Amino acid sequence: MASVTVVLRKTPNSDDKHNLYLRIIKDRKISQTSLGHSIPLSDWDDEKRIVKKSHRNSAWLNNLIASRVSEATDKLLEMEKNKTDSSARVIKNAVLASKDGIFFKQAQIYIDQLKATGKFNQRSADEPRINKFKKFLKNADINFSEISPGLLKKFKAYLIGTFKMTERTAVNHLVVIRTIYNRAVADGVTDKKNYPFGKGKVVIKFPDSAKIGLTADEVKVLEELDLPSGENHARNLWLVSFYFAGMRVSDVLRLEWSDFQNGRLYYAMGKNLKAGSLKVPDRVAEILKQYPQGSNAHDLVFPDLAKMPDLSKSYEVQSYIKTRVHSCNDYLKNIAKKLSLSKPLTMHIARHTFAQISADRIPANILQRLYRHSDIKTTMGYQSNFINKTTDDALDAVINL
């Protein structure tokens, strides 16, 4: 019969700590594999083969030890039952193969797939979130079965306490972990018996956030402001976004002259590929006169992406769009100072501005079509941030005695 234990290497590493190893002995032959953790010699109970309570992560490490010993023992019993080769070396290789269930290996596969499918924005947002989880775990590997509700709650508290994150930003980090966990379950890498999300565990719930746009009067002042070329271009992009029902800036920058036909704009939204058309307002037509047709490569209306050699390479294009948006937002920040605005002015605020001004003027079903939402509940939820008339009238009815 083989034995499976965890041992502490006697020779210290460069940090003067001792590495933990899973040791498998079969027929007097020994095979070892690192657990990826090291501790001070004084924190190890060699008789009980556990980490002493003097170590601040003793409970977590002892759970890891029990989990790895259990995995190796299960592999051993499975091999002996099936009468397959169960030498110490083969058992070790089987345990190493089970490391596909290590979270960060699956996380890297997820990140690589985002890049391969051209999803730059999602990758650039999610990769730092994964790295923060790794930093929280002190760069240690972790099995999916070890990601417990308690661990996730500690991670969330760590994000808020260490990085001064908002509740919503911290929740976004948990969403990434859930996404990778769900993919691992779907791919058969791990099962759902230890799934840490859902009722009675960790429930993903985004807190409400205030969304503020410009007023109609502020938009008029913005339209009439005399600006130098860089700021003027940023304002033009902002206004085109606003005039086209809060069109996303990534779609504005991709506009081609061929998208305009018979006084209408025909385009598919980049986020969900929903197609449709909008009437070209006179104010947009005036702005477009500043950008002569044929002056940019790829038939682009605006020059921002004209230097890109191939617009079909989604990942590279999204990366450069991010750079251009940062530049535009810098110009808009200067414009906000000139307008003495007490609220932020960014490209995304154009979308909020349309929502705010349209709040009490346009029915939800029409707004759904303008926003190109698949579900009207999404429209109603988004628009609820800006509809204040009913509550304002209710408040007036009480206090205006």
pLDDT in tens, 85-138: 556 566 555 555 455 557 998 999 999 999 888 889 899 999 999 999 999 998
* Residues in Cβ contact with 359 at an 8 Å cutoff, skipping those fewer than 6 apart: 383, 386, 387, 388, 389
Note whether residue 396 is domain-resident: no
**The domain spanning residue 291 has which CATH number?**
1.10.443.10
Are residue 92 and residue 162 in the same domain, yes or no? no
Are residue 236 and residue 312 in the same domain, yes or no? yes
Helix (H) or strand (E) holding 367: helix 364-371
Are residue 257 and residue 347 in the same domain, yes or no? yes
Are residue 62 and residue 110 in the same domain, yes or no? no
pLDDT score recorded for residue 391: 47
Note whether residue 198 is domain-resident: no
Tens of pLDDT, residues 269-301: 766 667 778 899 999 999 999 999 999 999 999
pLDDT score recorded for residue 352: 85
Are residue 278 and residue 334 in the same domain, yes or no? yes
Helix (H) or strand (E) holding 399: helix 389-399
Tens of pLDDT, residues 367-382: 667 666 667 766 666 5
pLDDT score recorded for residue 264: 93
* Residues in Cβ contact with 386 at an 8 Å cutoff, skipping those fewer than 6 apart: 211, 213, 352, 355, 356, 358, 359
Dihedral, 132, 135, 136, 141 alpha carbons, nearest 10: 110
Q: Determine the Cα–Cα distance for residues 309 and 300; give it in Å rounded to an integer.
A: 13
Least confident of 16-25, 88-97, 160-169, 327-336: 88-97
Are residue 154 and residue 75 in the same domain, yes or no? no
Percent of the chain topping pLDDT 90: 52
Are residue 88 and residue 111 in the same domain, yes or no? no
pLDDT score recorded for residue 46: 92
Total domains in the chain come to 3
- Mean pLDDT, the chain, as a whole number? 85
pLDDT band at 235 (very low <50, low <70, confident <90, very high): very high
Are residue 31 and residue 159 in the same domain, yes or no? no
pLDDT at 386 over 60: no
pLDDT score recorded for residue 125: 95
pLDDT score recorded for residue 23: 86
Boundaries of domain holding 18: 3-99
Are residue 67 and residue 111 in the same domain, yes or no? no
Tens of pLDDT, residues 310-364: 999 888 999 999 999 999 999 999 999 999 998 999 999 998 888 888 866 777 6
Is residue 116 within 8 A of residue 316, CB to CB? The reply is: no
Helix axes 349-358, 229-243, angle to 10 degrees: 40
